[in-house]
């Protein structure tokens, strides 16, 4: 076996072989997948095949058309890549994530997206070690950011996955929490209040306040603030946020903590959120303004 072909390469038909512009040799997709699947190879031995696959889907329109026309091969390709996300090599896993996003973005198939969501839903439901499935959270975050239709599909058809994501926010690892909150930031697009179930909506509102009250990692704090900025634009979310008091954890208490943090980005985001609350175009906005003025928000 060489790095880019396997012993059975002679059995692969021309349908698997593609010319890649700017590269001296054609690539055999079947060989690349066989190399990536081989359990006897360590990540460093798989990297050339991974790089060739990335180049193939990025540069060969013929290869992309073939994947679009044969969902069995496209599914096999993405399932092979997702299996590699379980490897204990953070650099390699990051590269696999990039290729997963490229393949899904190029194939542009809702069936393929749903397959990925099914796999992620199954994994996060059966594996309670959130650190082990964190690469899947990262993949989902990248996809929901880049695939415009994904948020609506998730909200309408993957309630179980959303419930599991909410539950996973209690996992005591702020990097894991940050990756999940990132997903929710991009879930709230379009007519998201109509798409989300009331239960999930309420859980998201509660969790963002709880996380902001204790968060130490900057990425988690900033992701939570991004989520909070979206929540306060919706009347139902804002009303719930202003009413919530979970053992002293309130929206105004959380914002006060961030305002006195002496960190400029956190202070600016908190002020933007307060401004959105005061300017909110609904009958309750004047009551919210009074609540803010009567609080000790600006005190030390």
pLDDT tens digits, 246-286: 999 999 999 999 999 889 999 999 999 999 998 887 656 67
Residue 9's pLDDT is 46
Residue 6's pLDDT is 46
Give the total number of structural domains in the chain. Answer: 1
In a domain, 24, yes or no: yes
Residue 8's pLDDT is 47
In a domain, 33, yes or no: yes
Is the CB of residue 105 less than 8 Å from the CB of residue 145?
Answer: no
Which range of residues forms the domain containing residue 7?
A: 1-96
Residue 4's pLDDT is 54
Residue 287's pLDDT is 80
In a domain, 153, yes or no: no
Give the chain's residues under pLDDT 50.
1-3, 6-9, 300
Buried b (16+ CB within 10 A) or exposed e, 134-162: bbbbbbbbbbbeebeebbbbbbeebeebb
In a domain, 82, yes or no: yes
In a domain, 79, yes or no: yes
In a domain, 138, yes or no: no
In a domain, 14, yes or no: yes
In a domain, 7, yes or no: yes
**Cβ burial, residue 123 (10 Å; 0-12/13-18/19+):** middle
Buried b (16+ CB within 10 A) or exposed e, 64-86: bebbeeeeebbbbbbebbbebbe
Residue 27's pLDDT is 84
Report angle CA 177, 179, 183 to the nearest 5 degrees: 110
Q: Is 22 left (phi over 0), alpha (psi -120 to 50) or beta?
A: left
């Amino acid at each position: 076996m060489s790095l880019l072909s396997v012993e059975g390469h002679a059995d692969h038909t021309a349908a698997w072989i593609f010319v890649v512009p700017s590269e001296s040799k054609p690539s055999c997709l079947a060989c690349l997948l066989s190399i990536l699947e081989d359990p006897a190879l360590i990540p460093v031995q798989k990297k050339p095949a991974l790089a060739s696959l990335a180049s193939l889907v990025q540069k060969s329109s013929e290869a992309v058309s073939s994947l679009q026309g044969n969902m069995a091969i496209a599914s096999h390709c993405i399932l092979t890549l997702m299996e590699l996300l379980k490897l204990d090599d953070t650099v390699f896993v990051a590269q696999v994530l990039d290729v997963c996003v490229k393949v899904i973005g190029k194939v542009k198939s809702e069936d393929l997206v749903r397959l990925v969501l099914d796999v992620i839903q199954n994994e996060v439901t059966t594996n309670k070690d959130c650190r082990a499935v964190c690469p899947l959270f990262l993949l989902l975050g990248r996809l929901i950011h880049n695939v415009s239709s994904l948020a609506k599909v998730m909200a309408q058809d993957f309630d179980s996955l959303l419930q599991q994501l909410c539950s996973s926010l209690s996992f005591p690892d702020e990097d894991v929490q940050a990756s999940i909150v990132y997903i929710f930031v991009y879930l709230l697009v379009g007519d998201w209040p109509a798409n989300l179930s009331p239960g999930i909506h309420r859980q998201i509102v509660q969790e963002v306040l709880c996380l902001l009250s204790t968060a130490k990692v900057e990425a988690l704090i900033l992701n939570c603030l991004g989520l909070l900025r979206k929540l306060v634009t919706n009347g139902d979310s804002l009303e719930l946020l202003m009413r919530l008091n979970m053992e002293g954890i309130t929206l105004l208490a959380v914002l006060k903590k961030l305002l006195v943090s002496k960190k400029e980005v956190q202070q600016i985001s908190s002020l933007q959120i307060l401004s959105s609350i005061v300017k909110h175009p609904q009958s309750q906005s004047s009551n919210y303004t009074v609540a803010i003025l009567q609080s000790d928000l600006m005190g030390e």
